[in-house]
Amino acid sequence: MAEHKKRQQQAKVLRVFRKIHRTTGALLFAFFFVVAATGLLLGWKKHSGDLLLAKSRKGSSTELKDWLPIDSLHKTACGIFRDSISAEGSLDLDRIDIRKDKGMVKFVFVSGFWGIQLDGATGKLLNIERRRSDFIEKVHDGSILDHYFQTGNGQIKLFYTTVMGLALLTFTVTGFWLWYGPKMMRKS
């Protein structure tokens, strides 16, 4: 009799886990699809032939003593942005990426996900790139909404990553139990 009650309890737990697993999956299907698709693209970004992320070009000198001052390179990058990308776009920078080993500095602009690679020593334009991988990354982690709504501290990203992380944890636990629970029931 105790064995039968134990088996009923295990079956009940399995039904609850199955319902949680199914409901969470149904509610978050679109989000999981986006995370999976963007994760796949991000994994391939350096092997996309400049489509998602441009290769870092090489400048003429890897010696920082030969380089122009950063403010001069920044002014050059802003001029190129105005002449080649947008006469009215914002010149706000997301970051400056210095690649000493390549002799190159990359200015990444907030507006439109554009990047400009310059030779650190000469200031010569090496490449203008559309940074599709930056956009994809922001979609992947939910910060794209912080970007468009201009939230100051990334609260949308924090909420999104918390929900998605907890959902993945829930799927892992319930999925394991849905696999292991029947095996355990068969043994008893």
Query: Model confidence over 76-109: pLDDT tens digits?
Result: 999 999 999 999 999 999 999 999 999 999 999 9
Domain span including residue 41: 2-45+139-187
Residue 96: alpha-carbon gap to chain centroid: 18
Q: What is the pLDDT of residue 71?
A: 98
Considering its fold, how many domains does the chain have in total? 2
- The CATH number covering residue 67 comes to 3.10.450
Give yes or no: residues 149 and 115 share one domain.
no
Q: What is the pLDDT of residue 178?
A: 86
CA distance 44 to 97: 21
Q: State the alpha helices, DSSP H only, in the chain.
A: 2-44, 70-80, 132-141, 143-149, 155-187
